[in-house]
Amino acid sequence: MTPLNIRRMALGSALAALAIGSFAAPALAQRDPAYAAARAAGTVGEKMDGYLGIVGAATPELQALVDDINIRRRAVYAERAQAEGATLAEYSFTAGCLAISRTSPGEMYQAPDGSWQRRTSAPPMRHSSCP
Amino acid sequence: MTSAKLTTSACRAHKALMRGTMASTAKGAVLALGVFALGGCITVNAPAEPIVIELNINITQEVIYRLAEDAGNTIDENADIF
């Protein structure tokens, strides 16, 4: 193998790594361990309005975690709502319907009557306007 | 608003009806005059409000269904905060 071929191979594999890296980047974004633990413990839950809520007693740590997530969700909702020509409330409510649908058994969600419910293997109780 | 346009068109329709009725009998003309004076121009605006309310509900529901696919993608693309 000539030095030229080796250089070409090195360049090719570097480009391939770069391409894989850029495609894989969004999938790598996972829940923060503290957030994942709070969801699993049921100390936070999905609300009907598309935001995260505290179930039970609030601690400063829990409040900071929920506020951080909700601020970031709101930014995403606002951007997408504008792109879709919808209001923030319409978009966040729609996302809330889907987020409640996607809860795993054991996680908490808000039922149409406003009460907190623990998700079972059965479909969650959702607002009648949900898609 | 649109009520002026509706009133004008309603009256015009009754005038045409009156001409035809007067040619036949006087009794028919009186009846047509009564309909023109009492019925046509007054009742036009009555059902407007309930229709508007129903429309708003339909639009909201339609918007939610339209946004569902985009919202699902948004959740997938921001898996760290959902």
Residue with tokens 């951007």: A79
- By Cβ distance, the residue of A69, A86, A129 closest to B81 is A69
Q: In a 10 Å sphere around its CB, with 0-12 CB exposed, 13-18 middle and 19+ buried, how is residue B25 labelled?
A: exposed
CA distance B56 to chain A (A): 13
- By Cβ distance, the residue of B65, B67, B79 closest to A91 is B67
Closest residue on chain A to B61 (Cα): A129
Residues in chain B: 82
More confident site: A24 or A107: A107
φ, ψ dihedrals at A128, nearest 5°? -65, -20
Sign of the dihedral through C-alpha A104, A110, A113, A116: positive
Task: Report yes or no: A77 and A50 within 8 Å, Cβ to Cβ.
Answer: yes
Task: Report yes or no: A20 and A28 within 8 Å, Cβ to Cβ.
Answer: no
Residue with tokens 């996680």: A107
Residue A50 confidence (pLDDT) above 90: yes
- CA angle, corner B14, sides to B13 and B20, nearest 5? 100
Residues in chain A closer than 8 A to B74 (CB atoms) = 76-77, 80, 95
Residues in chain B closer than 8 A to A84 (CB atoms) = 66-67, 70
Residue A34 confidence (pLDDT) above 70: yes
Average confidence score pLDDT of chain A: 86
Please report the number of interchain residue pairs, chain A to chain B, with beta-carbon separation below 8 angstroms. 63
A129 and B61 within 8 Å at the Cβ level: the answer is yes
Residue A74: name the closest of A54, A88, A86 by CA: A88
Q: How far is CA B65 from the centre of its chain?
A: 26
Residue A100, pLDDT score = 98
φ, ψ dihedrals at A93, nearest 5°? -65, -45
Helix (H, G, I), strand (E, B) or coil at A17: helix
Which H or E run contains B29?
A: helix B26-34
Tens digits of per-residue pLDDT, A66-120? 999 999 999 999 999 999 999 999 999 999 999 999 999 999 999 999 999 999 9
Residue A9 confidence (pLDDT) above 60: no
Residue A124 confidence (pLDDT) above 80: yes
Q: Is the pTM of this model over 0.90?
A: no
- By Cβ distance, the residue of A83, A90, A97 closest to B63 is A90
Going residue by residue through chain B, which has 82 residues, state the pLDDT in tens, using 9 for 90 and above.
Answer: 444 444 444 444 444 444 444 444 455 444 445 545 555 566 666 655 555 545 444 557 889 999 999 999 999 999 999 9
- Give the whole-number percent of chain A exceeding pLDDT 70: 79
CB atoms within 10 A of CB B26: 9
More confident site: A40 or B45: A40
Please, which pLDDT band fits residue A41 given cuts at 50, 70 and 90? very high
DSSP string, A49-91: TSSEEE-SS--HHHHHHHHHHHHHHHHHHHHHHHHHT--HHHH
Provide the token pair at A122: 């059965």
Residue B20, pLDDT score = 45
Residues in contact with A103: Cβ distance below 8 Å, sequence separation at least 6, in sequence order: A45, A46, A109, A119, A124
